[in-house]
Amino acid sequence: MRTHVSPALPESGYMASLAKARSDLRDLAPFLGRLLVALSFVVAAMVYALVRAQSGGNPEFALWIATAAGFGAYMALNIGANDVANNVGPVVGAGVIPLGGALIMAALFEFGGALIAGGSVISTVRGGIVMPEALADRNVYVWVMMAALLAAALWLNLATVLGAPVSTTHSIVGGVMGGGIAAAGLSAVDWSVMANIAASWIVSPFLGGLFAALFLYAIKRFVTYQPQVLEAAQRIVPLLVAAMTWSFGTYLILKGLKKIWAASLLEAGMMSALIALVTWGIARALIRRRLPRLRNDKSAVNQLLALPLIFSAALLSFAHGSNDVANAIGPLAGIYDVLSNAAMQEEAVIPLWVMGLGAAGLAIGLLLFGPRVIHTVGAELTKLDAMRAYCIAMAATITVIAASQLGLPVSTTHVTVGAVLGVGFLREWLKRRHALILSDIRALHADRDTAECDAFIARLHATPFAQRKAMIAQLRRERVADNGATVSRNAACRSDALVNRALMARVLSAWIITVPLTALISALIYFTLRGIML
């Protein structure tokens, strides 16, 4: 009997395969470690909730409360992993602060915002998505909220893996909608609210992109396009810092501290204006001292804006923690309140342990899995520097403040990503426009010495921006008068893209499917839970 013997691998091939296997294992080990920490957090939340329910007079519902706590912890982890990228992504992408420092800073401020200003009560039916009478039955309400939590968390998890920043609010809204439809039919949903959600897909990125582009153009027009950048920076940068102080102060009071102090726009704006005035004076003094050590180009502006940007990322994280922790613990708090009381409540009091669970989940999720989406927002969509990151941060705060006063629905995720795209498309337009101008100049010097053309371009760049158009017009008149020179712009129309179109399409697609997909997943989970219990 003959036996087949496989040829042995050459020793070099075997060693190479072994080395590759070891390398793959080393790459996999950190991910498995992060996964273990996340799983441990979810299990710890469930165990704590179970023990607390059994010892707190709710033993018959202890398992449900523990399961809901696990879903809430999972949701909080995913909010931290996906949504916080909006706050620190541009600053990290601009190289203002390293990733590790940004993660630690944002985690601390997210935790603080959620715990300090996250609020003590929350609506038991999220945002009026589902009519309260449709969820009047306690069991139905619990199943819907659990389905919504798990569906939203699963979608956020998938989006984070794909590197797509999506709206956590829209995720939980879709989950509640899907569970409500599964429980009581299409009539249970308040479709006017859903129409506002759909409108935000257009309003949010458009306003974010528009404001960011306007801010960036203003900085270029009045600072970096000037021959004496340092002189312009000495005048303008303190105003930029003061404007940032005002906008972030107003944003923080209106959004981050609204559960502590329900201030009006006028009150928040006046208080922030006083702080901004003081900031302007301090910034002027500090910038005057730093100017002698800076170069006369846009790098000076980037350096001067670095510190304000770090503060902006911290404040955005605080405000985000105070606002979006509700997306994780709101349904959990509602479930806990319903199972702990005999009657349904309009508002649910949030126990301290539930608030702490949400705050810790945001911070842990960011530290474990945040870098993926941070890289997308800060580096992959378009290249950022401190000036562009400043414009993105300003656009985010101004858009949210303006939209909230006008009653327009906006998503901070969509606003921030729209702002990133806005600065990228503005840069493309400016680059194309500059190429057209250079093409004009070279065409007008077609019969002249190359050195003469280069000298004119150098003089153009050394001329104040407001006078350049007249300088080119004068050149055109002179050349046409001499020999009827004409201009061909065909070569200048080609320009490299500065925005990643493929990634932009992927992110926009993720936004569009967020609500319907989470609704579908939630409906399936609701029917599964209902089938188990019945």
Instruction: Quick: pLDDT tens for 240-257.
Output: 999 999 998 898 888 777
Sequence-distant (≥ 6) Cβ neighbours of residue 257 within 8 angstroms: 117, 263, 322
Q: Return the top range by mean pLDDT from 19-28, 133-142, 416-425, 478-487.
A: 416-425
CA distance 508 to 167: 11
Highest mean pLDDT among 328-342, 400-414, 498-512: 498-512
The answer to which of 203-212, 364-373, 393-402, 417-426 has the lowest mean pLDDT is 393-402
Q: Mean of the pLDDT values across residues 191-216?
A: 88
Q: Which residues contact 134 (CB under 8 A, 6 or more apart)?
A: 180, 183, 184, 187, 188
Question: In the predicted model, is pLDDT for residue 98 greater than 50?
Answer: yes
Please give the pLDDT value at position 482.
Answer: 66
**CA 456, 461, 466 angle in degrees (round to 5)?**
110
Q: Is the pLDDT reported for residue 144 higher than 70?
A: yes
Residue matched to tokens 């371009």: 457
**Can you give the pLDDT at residue 17?**
64
Three-state secondary structure call for residue 122: strand
Q: Report the alpha-carbon distance of residue 424 to residue 479 in Å, rounded.
A: 36
- Point out the least confidently predicted range of 80-84, 138-142, 261-265, 302-306: 261-265
User: In the predicted model, is pLDDT for residue 121 greater than 90?
Assistant: no
Which of 131, 65, 135 lies closest to 333 in space, CA to CA? 65
The pLDDT value recorded for residue 504 is 94
| Residues near 215 by beta carbon (within 8 Å), at least 6 away in sequence | 390, 391, 394, 395
Q: Please say if the pLDDT value at position 344 is more than 50.
A: yes
* Type of residue found at 126: R
* Residues 117, 259 contacting (CB under 8 angstroms): yes
Q: List phi, psi (to 5°) of 449.
A: -70, 145
- Select from 320, 374, 312 the least CA-distant residue to 76: 320
Assign 61 a pLDDT band (cuts: 50, 70, 90): confident
Instruction: Note whether 78 and 287 are within 8 A (CB).
Output: no
DSSP state of 9: P
pLDDT at 347: 67
Nearest CA to 381 out of 333, 428, 317 is that of 428
Question: What per-residue confidence (pLDDT) applies to 490?
Answer: 46
Kindly give, in sequence order, each residue whose CB lies less than 8 Å from that of residue 186, ignoring residues fewer than 6 positions away: none
Please, are residues 257 and 266 in contact by the beta-carbon 8 Å criterion? no
Spatial separation of the C-alpha atoms in residues 225 and 230, rounded to whole Å: 11
pLDDT exceeds 50 at position 530: yes
Whole-number percent of the chain with pLDDT over 90: 50
Alpha-carbon span 331 to 326, nearest angstrom: 8
* Rounded Cα–Cα distance for residues 180 and 135 (Å): 8
* pLDDT average, residue stretch 325-329: 83
Interhelix angle 352-369/62-82, rounded to 10 degrees, is 40
Identify which has the larger pLDDT, 484 or 78. 78
pLDDT at residue 491, as a whole number: 47
Q: How far is residue 159's CA from residue 123's CA, in Å, rounded to a whole number?
A: 27
C-alpha triplet 512, 510, 393: angle, nearest 5°: 95
Q: Is residue 484's pLDDT more than 50?
A: yes
- pLDDT value, residue 394: 92
Above 80 in pLDDT, residue 24?
no
The pLDDT mean for the chain works out to 86
Mean pLDDT of 458-481: 85
SS3 for 173? helix
**pLDDT score of 25:** 59
Q: What is the mean pLDDT of residues 188-217?
A: 88
Which comes out higher in pLDDT, residue 14 or 115? 115
In this prediction, residue 16 carries a pLDDT of: 64
User: Per-domain residue ranges for the chain?
Assistant: 36-429+497-533, 430-493
Question: According to the model, what pLDDT value does residue 161 have?
Answer: 92
516: which 2 tokens? 């319907």
Mean pLDDT within 61-76: 93
Q: Write down the pLDDT at residue 304.
A: 93
**Residue in 343, 296, 369 with CA at minimum distance from that of residue 79:** 369
**Is the per-residue pLDDT at 308 higher than 70?**
yes
Burial class of 426 by CB neighbour count within 10 A (0 to 12, 13 to 18, 19+)? buried
User: What pLDDT is recorded for position 345?
Assistant: 64
Predicted confidence (pLDDT) at residue 376 exceeds the cutoff of 60? yes
DSSP 121: E
